[in-house]
Structure 1
Amino acid sequence: MSKLEEILAKMAERSLEQHERSLEQQAQIAQQQSQIAGLIDAIKIMPGVQNPVAVTVQPAAVDPMIARADKVQRLSMSMRKTNRIKDFKASNDSDIRMFIKKFEGELETLKP
């Protein structure tokens, strides 16, 4: 019977420990709930929560130089990707004016 008593004593200790742990967990849960309730009350007191503040948003002013640089960058990328603009090759039958006219036409089609 001594083994049986030892087993019963161990079981009683374990159940007591589990009960203590569950009480601690319940105390922690109650503390967390009280903290949450306190935070909710603090948020309700904050200005702007009950009556929202009117905010006017204005887009940031774009510097003209930055806008131009961006356009030039996009145009440059488009020119590199297209196959329609060829390099001018000087020869007896090539006409620079015709090349410039074609180049300007293609440039106009690539502009955003």
Structure 2
Amino acid sequence: MFGTGILRIKQAYVNEIVSPKFKVTPNALVVILPVLNVADDLSANEWQVLAQFEADKPLSKRQLVAQTNLSASKISRILPNLVEKNLLTKIGAGRATQYHNNQGNTK
């Protein structure tokens, strides 16, 4: 029963907002599994914002507005909540502010 692991992993995340990522390199297969029970108290919009982050790729508020179709004011309310819950880290200030995912969740 070899070779069914990736299919089983994908099936486990089929009804989730976030999904696992698979990176193939010449020497390895890297599987990044998003944590699903980190914060059960997250709203659908907060999950939608978190789902936009890839590992080690910070995003700005402007990028999140474009990717989620949520309003800039809604994103502005969501981001501090996610920082307070220690799910995101704020990097920089002003228009140059970006956010980094602390959980390793990926799109």
TM over 0.5: no
- Higher RCO (CA-CA < 8 Å; seq separation 6+): 2
Q: Which has the higher strand share?
A: 2
Question: Rg larger in 1 or in 2?
Answer: 1
| Structure-2-length-normalised TM-score | 0.24
| Structure-1-length-normalised TM-score | 0.23
Q: Which has the higher helix share?
A: 1
